[in-house]
Amino acid sequence: LTNNIIFADNAGTTRVSEQVLRSMLPFFGEVYGNPSSLHPKGFEASAALDAARAKIAQLLGATPREIFFTGSGTEAINWAIKGTAYAARKSDPEKNHIISTEFEHHATINSLKALERDGFEITLVKPSADGIISPERVAAALRPTTALVSVMAVNNEIGTIQPISELSAITRPRKIPFFTDAVQAAGNIPINVNDWDVDMLAISGHKIHAPKGIGVLYIRRGTKVRNFIDGGGQESGRRGGTENLPYIAGLATALEIATAKLCDLDRVRTLRERIIDELLRLPNTRLNGSRSGRVAGNANLSFYGAEGESLLLDLAAAGICVSTGSACAAQDLAASHVLLSIGVPVEWAHCSLRISLTHENTEEEADKIIAAVTKAVNRIRAISTL
C-alpha cells in the first residue's frame, strides 16, 4: 500500500530525506562519543556538535552561543514562553501580562494556559479574516506590565505568513521580549533573526525532512530566559541531557537544504494554485486564509456539507494523505480554533481539508488529488444531512 501513497500532509510532518539520513548515519556508528567526554571519542563528537550548531547559527543569522537544541518544537516553545514569563516576573513582580494570538499552535496556547493558571494574564489577539495578525492590534494590547509578545511566523493550518519584523518593531523600543514560533516558516520562507529582529525563535526538524524529536530554540544574547532542564551542564547549562547528536546533525543538514531550496518554491506554488483553482470550481467551496499571503505549499479549503473527517477517510482509502487541520488536533472533533479565529462559520470549519505540498510532490500527484477530492466531496455531499 505505501508504494502508491500520495503524501500531501507535509505541514503535519515530512519524510526524512536521503541526504539527511546519510548525514546522520556516522553518529549511530563510529562517531558515538559523548560530546562532554574529555577523550578522543568525546572530542570527535564535540567537534561535530559545534559544527552543527555553527551551521544552524549561520543559516538563521545568529551566533552559535545563541542556538540551543531541544527535544521538539513543542519543547522549544514551552521554554521560550515559560522561561521568559518566569524570568520577567522574577525581576519585576508586576510583569505578568503576555500577548499572543488566537490561532497559535497548541504548544503555545497550552503553555499560555499553564501560565494563566499560575497568575499570568494573557491577551490573545484576533487575526484578520485573511489570517494575518495586525501590528495595530498587537500595539493596542500592550500594557506597562507586558512581559512577552509571542506570534507565530507562519500558521500551521492555513499557511498564512505574519509580519514579524513589523511586530518586533513594536516591542523592541519598549524592551519587551518577542518570540516567534517559526516551525512552519522553516523551508517555506527566508528566516533571519536579525531581519526579523526577534529575541527568540523556535524551529522543528520533522517539518523540514529531518527526524521527529529534535528542535532548536534561538535565544538572542542578553534575553532573560529561565533555564529549562536541570542536568549535567549541556547547552551552556540551560538545557540538561546528553545531546542527540545524530538528530542534531540531521537537522543542520536539513536546514541547509531547505534554505538552499527556498528559491525553487515556484514549482510547488504552481501545483498548489492548480489545486486551489480546480477545487474552487466545486460549488459552496471556500479557501481559508489569504491566497497570496500564504506559504507556497499550503491549500486549506472548506467544502460545505462534506465533513472533513469523512473526506479524510475517503482520501485515505484512495491512498492520499492530507489533514483536516493540525495533526495534533486530528483526534479531537472540535472545530479548528484556527478557522474559527479567522471567522470561518463553524459548519464550514468542520468541512475543511489542508493539503500541504513540498518539492517532492509532482504534477501527476496534484491531478490525482484534485480528482480524488472532487469525487469524495460529491459522494459525501450526496449523503450529507447538512
Taking the least distance from each CB to ligand PLP, the nearer of 138 and 251 is 251
- Least distance (Å) from ligand PLP to the CB of residue 46? 25
CB 67 within 8 A of CB 56: yes
If binding is defined by CB under 6 A, does position 156 make contact with ligand PLP?
Answer: yes
Alpha carbon distance 175, 106 (integer Å): 26
Binder among 74, 180, 285, 356 for ligand PLP (CB under 6 A): 74
Q: Cell numbers for 139, please give them.
A: 500595539
User: Cα dihedral angle (201, 72, 329, 156), rounded to 10 degrees?
Assistant: 30
Size of the site for ligand PLP (CB under 6 A): 16
- Least distance (Å) from ligand PLP to the CB of residue 118? 22
Instruction: Sketch the per residue contact string, 28 through 67, with ligand PLP: x for CB under 6 A, - otherwise.
Output: ----------------------------------------
Binder among 87, 151, 152, 198 for ligand PLP (CB under 6 A): 152
Q: Which residue has the cell 532542564?
A: 229
Alpha carbon distance 86, 89 (integer Å): 5
If binding is defined by CB under 6 A, does position 256 make contact with ligand PLP?
Answer: no
If binding is defined by CB under 6 A, does position 183 make contact with ligand PLP?
Answer: yes
CB 151 within 8 A of CB 100: yes
What is the maximum span of the chain, computed from C-alpha positions, in angstroms? 70
Q: Which residue has the cell 518544537?
A: 73
Taking the least distance from each CB to ligand PLP, the nearer of 183 and 353 is 183
If binding is defined by CB under 6 A, does position 305 make contact with ligand PLP?
Answer: no
Q: Cell numbers for 198, please give them.
A: 526577534
If binding is defined by CB under 6 A, does position 322 make contact with ligand PLP?
Answer: no
- Least distance (Å) from ligand PLP to the CB of residue 74? 3
Among residues 355, 372, 357, the alpha carbon closest in space to that of 158 is found at: 355
Residue 260: CB atoms within 10 Å: 10
Binder among 95, 97, 105, 209 for ligand PLP (CB under 6 A): 105
328 catalytically annotated: yes
CB 193 within 8 A of CB 182: no
Which DSSP letter does residue 50 get?
H
Among residues 131, 194, 187, 183, the alpha carbon closest in space to that of 161 is found at: 131
- Least distance (Å) from ligand PLP to the CB of residue 155? 7
The one-letter amino acid code at 269 reads R
Full DSSP string of 126-183: PPPTTS---HHHHHHH--TTEEEEE--SB-TTT-BBP-HHHHHHHHGGGT--EEEE-T
If binding is defined by CB under 6 A, does position 216 make contact with ligand PLP?
Answer: no
If binding is defined by CB under 6 A, does position 215 make contact with ligand PLP?
Answer: yes
Taking the least distance from each CB to ligand PLP, the nearer of 184 and 324 is 184
Residue of 263, 321, 328, 351 marked catalytic: 328
If binding is defined by CB under 6 A, does position 107 make contact with ligand PLP?
Answer: yes
Which residue stretch of 181-189, 334-342, 361-369, 378-386 sits at the interface with ligand PLP (rule: CB under 6 A)? 181-189
Q: Which residues are catalytic?
A: 328
List interacting residues with ligand PLP (CB under 6 A): 72-74, 77, 105, 107, 152, 156, 181, 183-184, 204, 206, 215, 326, 328
